[in-house]
Structure 1
């Protein structure tokens, strides 16, 4: 079935409209809905008439508009037909709900709005109406449950709705603008619209997302802009077919706030690509390393009371932390967290098995202490002073989904243990008024737009990666999130000043492919900026595209001639491309400025070796050996050059030094073997070759390295037979 719809979409993307309509009609004929078949046939007839009029030479000034309308309708009809076919056979939740709501009509958006609006008032008046505490508690529980049921229905009926009618649009706008519907409920509604858009493209729902971005509450408008981005990921080519969408986007793309928010979300989505790496590092490195802590497992098995000096810290523990490298890893995690990376995925991924997470809509709930299952943790008379529990649940470090996980973990505890733990959180972590003000100020940062969007993206990540039925949804986090490639967002994301910041961010984080794309866009408007040419070239160099990198470096060199950095990287690219003569030319330019750069001397020496100028190369290598604290690289080069030009005693001196070092390399044993073989000391040569072979992954790897040097051995007077006989002697 997916092949059918993809085939139709492919026809439409190639503007083969008539063929696409034939395919849609064939799909519709397999559906039981007479209304669907009628609508498809009407669309076909309309297009056939248009073709007939055009064939007769009849000019219609509205022909272009008519064609575009039919074209858009063909997409919608294809999606509608595809869903109708699947709804009769698929057991995915999406189609289950479609069947459910076909048989039991859902409430209208207006009816659901009334129920949601009643919630706040009912919850506020219940304590006034019911003086009995138990009765009041029971009534409040019922109010919360009815509210949750209405909110879940709002999410589901919005998610599985196909194309809104004008009446539904009006109801949706009224719901969005209601001052009585809780903001948290509006957030769930916006998420439902977004998830619907990930399935099919409804221009009316998309326009609602664009309108929701202007909502005054940042909780709502940040979910809306994420929804706008997700819609672009799935339906970019569809968005630009609608003049009303283009007009609205044109205004937003000029809005400074929208541009800033969009760049923030671009970075946050990019950071989501790091989550799997962070998760793996936590599971495979940090947590196992922490479990090896000498303090873990030293419980008092005999039962003696601890003596007063039992709190004395063992200095070896601090040494263990430093030696294990755990400090650096934790610092790295802290830095990533400060940037907005998701460092808690590993911690909370095992806590998504609670019944709460079986309901799809719950993954999109903003955290609410009044949720029916967790309100018991806090009670109706919350303490006014800030506690550790408040700090955790108000922190912007944790996304909404993880806060629910934390609370359900508390609920799983035995009641007495839970109450004791919460009491300790309240008592032991009470803070001074000054500290309270600082913490309150800190927790208010939750209202910052970047924190809201980051938490929401983390919630989305958990949904697409951890929901029990995640295989039924298209995972948005399989996308590359290159928003500058989408016409609907391109104008906002490519504003020069913000784009430069974004490009530099990617550059610093080693996302070189993305950095190159952005620098290329910037260069279209600013071809005289040598820094942009340099950074674009460096991005290509890091990607291994040395040939193309050269062209960018040369352009930078034209704009700012003989820049040290440019010359050095021109040389490095030529060197990587196996062009030593050109590399040497630029290395020599760098040498004029940096005559004492020992690494540069090694690189010049390598170029000279490649050009078979061994004597000249030796001069550079001797210089490095004399001045370098760790001269082994220079000694390898001296040994090899001396061997090639026949200075065997000098070569032996340097290979003996290398083999007496702490960790000789495989090549040291190999090259020393060549030397002793040439000197006629076959026994020592075989011994060294065997050492080299033992350091290779397998014999094939050894043979590859050995035979690469065959030409040098032949120059020393050995025949090919001699070389192959020696190989058999190693077995």
Structure 2
């Protein structure tokens, strides 16, 4: 029985998708026949006389054409019938899902407890604002209980209304105008308005309704409440993820909105913020790997199975190691500052921690994932009451750098453990610094900050909500690079594409870059050609293709320093070292004081085995920059290449004795000793190299033979043969197994 139901579900979804494909192609006749076939197959799905009306009007249109009538309005009538069938198919789609998809079945069940006429919704939302205002007139003895009951009833209504909007059929123009007016009204609470905007977002993402979509765009363009406005912006942009479209109308709505240059710029900023948001797991790994160990190592707390306790300080620590405590504090502050800098740049640094706190019953209700934080929320008010003796909650609400979803998580989590915290931690929670760096009220009102918090709420929902797989996900596939949507064709957003591509390159988001380039690869646009070259060089790892692109650009713009630098690097990575050296030489002639360019030229010359040409420049650089480790590295390698092993040895001794020693210095120092004939010392240096190698590197790189293979031409050139290489590899790899 279960398999038969699943087969029916898959077959039905395929038929519905086929209907939308035909409607997207404006194939009205075939789409009508497919709709009729689907309803005949599943007669329990729905019945609506609108389908019969569309069929009747279409057959009449066909009959007029058969009889040779020339109707000047034929195209308009055809488009109108197609739009009507599109709306009918969308209603059929949501009906199908409320019968077969768990998330929509549950949403329909929760929405059936109330009737949601426009008049009922208006009366409830405006009545709630009036009733809360009247609470101040109540006697203190009864105010608390009346307040709890008022918020409880209103929350039940809003949860049900939220679900009702998600499973609602297509709205009329009258419905659209009603909600536009209602959600911009000062008589409606901003929390209610924001929550309903999120409901409209989920509804349009999963079953496009052009009238709901228009509400979101209208609120974004016209609302005076910045939180409603920014939520509407995220809403209509994420609605573009919908698999269903009413393209002509949506195109007109979007094109009109983008006539305003500020809208174009805000969309570009939103695209960047989405990328920051999607880096949350990667940022979490960075914090867990590079920052938290230092913070935990240097703090003064110890976590045990009995709770959190303070470590006893070692009174002799500063005797044996003067300044140890100061250094530990500096390291801890440095690690903490790294994390704060990530946050300021736009990273979602709290995702890792709070992702573990979404299992509270509070998050069983879908609306709670999108609800702005307020202390009176009936599902946390009892819990929050346990924290009334600490200002922590007020700090979270006013100044905490958390999205609303995390504020609810934090409140529930802290309330559940506060009674078990040691006294010193309870005291700490009463200080203004308890939450770390606070966000000023002024910063919290900025559109970019508001938008970031909304995106973080959305990201948590689409990564952690149990039924997320049943919904369209705006962070998956090509959805997250919304600027590639056809609705933006011909708008001012295209002018900002190169800047967005550079952003993707900087943040090493290859998937986003490929999505954008697939849409905007323009052979005649020099900026996009430059980006293509960067893609070939940095991501595709095809430096030969990059060479061709940058050669053409260099021929067109020989004075462009950046293009010449990229051409030099492409030559270098494609092992055309002499050509790379010539490019660096041209750059050096133009900027003789640029040490980096001069050093790169020396590296290229050394790789081209022109050590004698490199050595004079290296000696000069070593005099000018006596403390430069990079200069000493290249100088040591060039000396070794010239066979001046004694001089090279002195440089490698300096490098390996320095605090800034790189692990590769040990490998090259080993080569120097090996070429010099001092095999025991070579072995020692190779062992040092292996002991300090990156343990996270690919497995094949865990053996010294991997390094020998990379440098075999150099070794052959200086008298080391295959037998020597195999024997040395066995000695080193055997010692490090």
TM-score by length of 1: 0.76
CA offsets per residue over residues 457-516 of structure 1, 9 Å max, x none? 2222222223343333333223563343234346666285x7787667656656688689
Counterpart CA distance in 2 for 1:408 and 1:118 is 29
Partner of 1:456: 454
Partner of 1:272: 277
Partner of 2:133: 124
- Picking from 200, 218, 226, the partner of 1:218 is 226
Worse-superposed segment, 153-162 or 70-79? 70-79
Cα RMSD (Å)? 5.3
Tell me by how many angstroms 1:532 deviates: 8.9
1:711 to 1:429, Cα distance in 2 relative to 1, 3 A: closer
Local SS of the residue matching 2:99: coil
Local SS of the residue matching 1:290: helix
Tell me by how many angstroms 1:147 deviates: 1.0
Task: Give matches, 1:443-592, under 5 Å.
Answer: 443=441, 445-478=443-476, 481-489=480-488, 494=493, 541-543=537-539, 544=541, 546-547=543-544, 549-550=546-547, 553-554=550-551, 557=554, 561-592=558-589
Partner of 2:659: none
Partner of 1:362: 368
Tell me by how many angstroms 1:200 deviates: 0.4
Worse-superposed segment, 219-228 or 404-413? 404-413
Tell me by how many angstroms 1:148 deviates: 1.0
Partner of 2:401: 397
Long gaps (5+) in structure 2: 1-9, 657-662, 694-698
CA offsets per residue over residues 336-363 of structure 1, 9 Å max, x none? 3234432222343333333222211112
Local SS of the residue matching 2:575: coil
Local SS of the residue matching 1:372: coil
Answering whether residue 86 of structure 2 is matched by residue 87 of structure 1, we say: no
Answering whether residue 232 of structure 2 is matched by residue 231 of structure 1, we say: no
Answering whether residue 205 of structure 2 is matched by residue 198 of structure 1, we say: yes
Counterpart CA distance in 2 for 1:342 and 1:165 is 39
Local SS of the residue matching 1:206: helix
Counterpart CA distance in 2 for 1:702 and 1:247 is 63
Answering whether residue 191 of structure 2 is matched by residue 184 of structure 1, we say: yes
Counterpart CA distance in 2 for 1:238 and 1:36 is 22
Partner of 2:106: 96
Answering whether residue 241 of structure 2 is matched by residue 241 of structure 1, we say: no
Task: Give matches, 1:44-443, under 5 Å.
Answer: 47=58, 50=61, 58-90=69-101, 92-98=102-108, 106-126=115-135, 128=137, 131=139, 133-166=140-173, 168-213=175-220, 214-234=222-242, 238-242=245-249, 245-293=250-298, 295-297=300-302, 315-322=323-330, 325-375=331-381, 389-395=393-399, 397-409=401-413, 411-412=415-416, 442-443=440-441
Conservation of the 8 A alpha-carbon contact between 1:622 and 1:638: no
Conservation of the 8 A alpha-carbon contact between 2:255 and 2:488: no
Tell me by how many angstroms 1:196 deviates: 0.5
Counterpart CA distance in 2 for 1:342 and 1:706 is 42
Tell me by how many angstroms 1:708 deviates: 6.9
Local SS of the residue matching 1:238: coil
1:338 to 1:107, Cα distance in 2 relative to 1, 3 A: same
Conservation of the 8 A alpha-carbon contact between 2:384 and 2:415: no
Local SS of the residue matching 1:201: coil
Conservation of the 8 A alpha-carbon contact between 2:114 and 2:157: no
1:693 to 1:169, Cα distance in 2 relative to 1, 3 A: closer
Counterpart CA distance in 1 for 2:675 and 2:428 is 74
1:553 to 1:263, Cα distance in 2 relative to 1, 3 A: same
Counterpart CA distance in 1 for 2:414 and 2:706 is 61
Counterpart CA distance in 2 for 1:706 and 1:339 is 41
CA offsets per residue over residues 541-595 of structure 1, 9 Å max, x none? 4444545555664566456534544433322222222333433332232232355
TM-score by length of 2: 0.76
- Picking from 19, 40, 43, the partner of 1:32 is 43
1:387 to 1:75, Cα distance in 2 relative to 1, 3 A: same
Local SS of the residue matching 1:221: helix
Long gaps (5+) in structure 1: 431-438, 643-649
Tell me by how many angstroms 1:195 deviates: 0.7
CA offsets per residue over residues 44-87 of structure 1, 9 Å max, x none? 66556656765776543233233333444454444444443443
Local SS of the residue matching 1:117: helix
Tell me by how many angstroms 1:227 deviates: 0.9
Conservation of the 8 A alpha-carbon contact between 1:30 and 1:85: no
Counterpart CA distance in 2 for 1:517 and 1:699 is 32
1:74 to 1:610, Cα distance in 2 relative to 1, 3 A: farther
Conservation of the 8 A alpha-carbon contact between 1:279 and 1:346: yes
Local SS of the residue matching 1:494: helix
1:567 to 1:16, Cα distance in 2 relative to 1, 3 A: same
Local SS of the residue matching 2:335: helix
Counterpart CA distance in 2 for 1:588 and 1:127 is 79
Counterpart CA distance in 1 for 2:186 and 2:412 is 31
Counterpart CA distance in 2 for 1:709 and 1:178 is 72
Tell me by how many angstroms 1:215 deviates: 2.2
1:136 to 1:420, Cα distance in 2 relative to 1, 3 A: farther
Counterpart CA distance in 2 for 1:107 and 1:152 is 12
Conservation of the 8 A alpha-carbon contact between 1:24 and 1:77: no
Conservation of the 8 A alpha-carbon contact between 2:110 and 2:160: no
Conservation of the 8 A alpha-carbon contact between 2:484 and 2:519: no
Counterpart CA distance in 2 for 1:224 and 1:569 is 42
Local SS of the residue matching 2:279: helix
Conservation of the 8 A alpha-carbon contact between 1:87 and 1:95: yes
Matched residue pairs, number?
Answer: 690
Higher Cα radius of gyration: 1
Conservation of the 8 A alpha-carbon contact between 2:273 and 2:452: yes
1:728 to 1:449, Cα distance in 2 relative to 1, 3 A: closer
Conservation of the 8 A alpha-carbon contact between 1:223 and 1:453: yes
Counterpart CA distance in 2 for 1:80 and 1:653 is 82
Conservation of the 8 A alpha-carbon contact between 1:249 and 1:488: yes
Worse-superposed segment, 143-152 or 269-278? 269-278
